[in-house]
Chains A and B, each alone.
Chain A
Amino acid sequence: MPKVLLDWFYVGVFAVVGTLLAVLPLVVVWLLAPRVDLPQKTITYESGVIPFGQAWAQFNVRYYLFALVFVVFDVEVIYLYPWAVVFRQLGAVAFVEMLMFLLILLVGLAYAWRKGALEWV
């Protein structure tokens, strides 16, 4: 049996067994804990006042900008992983190539910075 298949088989078993083990205490609670239904209990908590409006409303667009910048750099880092592993075998050529790649990205970072995409206002 190939090792890599066995590796991911273990990961899969961990995910399933982990979910079961995490649900187990919830089942114990369902068996042990009291259940008293009162309408006041299920009101959304808002420091003791009656909540007004929903929480599912508009929120700051800044979060979205950071998410966009994140996607760019996260994909970049994914490209760095395979390069990092074989870097020492490939030598100078690999370094120069990654230098060019990273410089382009640094320009991108500088652009986002100058544009104010990284400012929280």
Chain B
Amino acid sequence: MWAIEFLKAVGLAVVIFTFLAVVGAMIGVYLERKISAWIQARLGPKHVGPQGLLQTVADTVKLLQKEHITPRNADALIFNSAPVIVAVAALLDWVVIPFGTAGGRVLVVRDLSIGVLYFAAMASITVVGILSGGWSSNNKYALLGGLRSASQMISYEIPLALGIVWVAMVAGTLSTVGIVNAQLTQGGWFMFKLPPPIGFLGAPFGVLAGVTFLASATAEVNRVPFDLPEAESELVAGYFAEYTGMRFALFQLGEYGEMFGMSALATIMFFGGWAEPRLEPWMWVAVTLGFLVVAAIILLTGARRNLLVRPIVILSLLGAVVSILMALGAHLPSVVWFLVKLFALVFFLMWMRWTYPRLRLDQLLNLSWKVLLPLGLLNLLATGLILTVWGR
């Protein structure tokens, strides 16, 4: 019995790690480069494989051949273990992420009863890796990056946790599967809908909690506009300035794994997880028309001469086909919906990165302590009040 479970656990760990390395790191980095290129009107990676798809594979092979350099003044043991800690923390996040349902079973490694709390705990292990990497390098840039990262991550952990507590309060459970099921039961995302009889009137609270959560999640994964720890224009690369080759790649893997993990958690808590959006047929038709209008605007105006808009045209035509099928009553597998929402959020984070400038350290800490924390607490109290008064 234990042996079978052990083999299952090892198999799942290998599968999830591969998923993170391939989808999280390789496709994530490729998407980041392509999307940043589109936003900045460049072409991005183009030469390795079709449309540059194999660029990150080539980069990984290159990094595998690079020498590992440990600075002689560094604390070697801590220096070498830091990237491993970051990568493992990102992997452990994914234990509680449900990908969808298949044949009545939920596709999740383990549905822990304290799922979201566990996620927050594992995500905050990252800061140990980052801080020890920054400190042990014995490099001034790395130390400053590590310290900034630590102060930023602990500051934003509290608004993040308040977002999680908000969802736990509405759903009445900490299990990730339970949270998605609660949204399935009430027939709407927590972002826009509270349990009956409040319904869509609860949307302002949900939006506030969701925005608070997403902002602090962006800060937790050290992304623009909260990327001070690795601010390349002032700190070279911040806490991983001294890391070479595959150890640098492990940091990247951890970072992208964490970004995908946070997006997955936001999907589960605020956007219904694997649940298929249930809209009236006429609404699906409206969505179809919206996609067609986007494609038509590009094709009928001067924008079509810009090669960079081709993926947008393809995506909107695809979206139009899917939503007209949905209007006719078709269904997509739940895993597809989960991945669509996940990648939409990842795209949103990348869009932010290439749109907004970096915050200053005092602005960053003010935003967390003086805006998000009081807002989160008040939102918790207000939602608690309306749930107590009307939610019985």
Contacts and interface: CB of A to CB of B under 8 A. Distances in A.
Contacts of B83: 22
Interface in B45-100: 64-74, 83-84, 87-88, 91-92, 95
Interface residues of B, number: 87
Q: What interface size band does chain A fall in?
A: 35 or more
Interface in A45-84: 45-47, 51, 54-56, 59-60, 62-63, 66-67, 69-70, 73-74, 77, 80-81, 84
Contacts of A60: 147
Contacts of A56: 135, 138, 143
Contacts of A99: 381, 384
A77 B246 contact: no
Contact of A33 (B64, B71, B138, B384): B64
Contacts of A62: 151
Contact of A42 (B5, B71, B113, B250): B71
B9 A95 contact: no
A10 B154 contact: no
B366 A118 contact: yes
Contact of A47 (B72, B236, B250): B236
B209 interface: no
A64 B347 CA distance: 35
B247 A45 contact: no
B169 A73 contact: no
A108 B352 CA distance: 34
A88 B172 contact: yes
A63 B374 contact: no
Interface string A1-26: 10010110111011101110111011
A113 interface: yes
Contacts, number: 217
Contacts of B16: 14
B181 interface: no
Which of B2, B87, B169, B392 has the most A CB atoms < 10 Å from its CB? B169
Contacts of B111: 7
B281 interface: no
B92 A67 contact: no
A44 B139 contact: yes
Nearest to A23: B84
Interface in B183-233: none
A54 B88 contact: no
A36 B67 contact: yes
Nearest to A92: B388
B73 A45 contact: no
A109 B374 CA distance: 9
B39 interface: no
B158 interface: yes
Given A26-B247, A44-B242, A9 B9 contact: yes
B139 A17 contact: no
B168 A85 contact: yes
B84 A19 contact: yes
B105 to A, nearest CB: 15
Residue of A33, A66, A77, A113 with highest tally of chain B CB at under 10 A: A77
A41 interface: yes
B353 to A, nearest CB: 23
B245 interface: yes
B100 to A, nearest CB: 19
A46 B140 contact: yes
B71 A14 contact: no
A88 B172 CA distance: 7
B246 A14 contact: no
Q: Which of B17, B137, B361, B369 has the most chain A CB atoms inside 10 A of its CB?
A: B369
A4 B118 CA distance: 13
A84 B381 CA distance: 11
Among B1, B84, B388, B391, max chain A CB count under 10 A is at B388
Given A41-B69, A81-B165, 8 more contacts: A13-B10, A29-B68, A44-B71, A56-B143, A73-B158, A74-B154, A81-B117, A91-B392
17 contacts: A4-B113, A7-B110, A9-B5, A17-B9, A17-B13, A18-B87, A18-B91, A18-B92, A19-B88, A26-B84, A30-B68, A32-B64, A77-B158, A81-B168, A99-B381, A109-B373, A120-B366
